[in-house]
A = this chain, B = another copy of it.
Amino acid sequence: MILTIDFESESPIYMQIRDQIVRGIGSGELESGERLPSIRALSDDIGVNPMTVSKAYSLLKQEGFISSTRKGGSVVSEKIPEGGLDDEKKLALHTVASEARIRGMGEREFLKLCSDYYRGGA
């Protein structure tokens, strides 16, 4: 999996890494048990500090998306905790939906986008 960082983005680097791995899992590009690049390898690859990658991995681990061992490195969790979206995520979704409507995107078009994203499409 190839990670791309936008250094101009408002979103912090560690959050961009976290989000891309979440989307990778969602699309199936990253499978359960699959190994992620090591912290140092990834930091070298995308040109950021190892601590920044470590922060992203720590967050993903805390959320239950990945697990880490010194032996096998970091891998996608076999059993990701369920529970749907928490309240903050729902609120963010609500805001995006409102903005889409306000900015003239039709309901059908918006739901198509949601469906495509859910299924892992670009």
Contact = CB atoms under 8 A, between A and B. Distances in A.
Interface string A54-75: 0000000000010000000000
A98 interface: yes
Q: Is the interface of A mostly helix, strand, loop or mixed?
A: helix
A78 B25 CA distance: 42
A90 B111 contact: no
Contacts of A45: none
Contact of A102 (B25, B95, B103): B25
A105 B120 contact: no
A51 interface: no
A115 interface: yes
B117 A97 contact: yes
A40 interface: no
Nearest to A90: B113
A100 interface: yes
Interface in A84-122: 84-85, 88-105, 107, 109-111, 113-115, 117-120
Q: Which 8 A-B pairs have the closest CB atoms?
A: A26-B98, A82-B104, A97-B117, A84-B105, A94-B117, A114-B114, A97-B118, A19-B95
Interface of A: 9-11, 19, 22-23, 25-27, 65, 80-85, 88-105, 107, 109-111, 113-115, 117-120
